[in-house]
Chain A
């Protein structure tokens, strides 16, 4: 069966510090991978998605970046965090399929607080 791991679960970082969140998927190959952010009491905002190694699409201009160095690994990074980067970050995967009519499977999320 497929599983998704996301870490760390919680993170408190000062403004201006770097960020690295990691997500890995097991039990499937060539998944679509996604990073979503959820601000307190808000909806799910798509940040990045990837359909393959090295292929990253950004949905929102910001100081965050994403990379996919391996088929089942997705990393969210920042060189300098802003207060507005605080939120609940969710990694998700889906079967690589066109059209996209397969479920999104979410990781447990990382709660990031920028102080």
Chain B
């Protein structure tokens, strides 16, 4: 089941903040976030595990609300280098409570940071 990302695209000026959301209709074990520059391979940003944790990497952080089956990526004081397409990947939880071997990615959110 493909997660739904919103917004599809966003344009920011340097220094502005943005939030990208990822939601699933299935119970999730983990949520991954990746960034892809045009013509390049996706690069891993962070993983969030069920339990409602929040992680951060410099000015990029994320939260995972297991009950709502949602994750949000927060980009603060955006820089030109933040431009790219952001993908969330979700790992579902089986009835046994175990996770799966695979990620299903959303369609991506294109972020453009302009001077």
Contact = CB atoms under 8 A, between A and B. Distances in A.
Interface of A: 32, 34, 36, 42-46, 49, 51, 57, 59, 90, 98-109
A interface secondary structure, majority: loop
B9 to A, nearest CB: 11
Interface of B: 2, 29-30, 32, 34, 40-44, 47, 49, 87, 89, 91, 98-108
Contacts of A44: 42, 87, 89, 105
B89 to A, nearest CB: 7
B103 A98 contact: no
Contacts of A101: 29-30, 47, 49, 91, 99
A36 B105 CA distance: 10
Given A100-B91, A101-B91, A107 B105 contact: no
A46 B106 CA distance: 11
B107 A100 contact: no
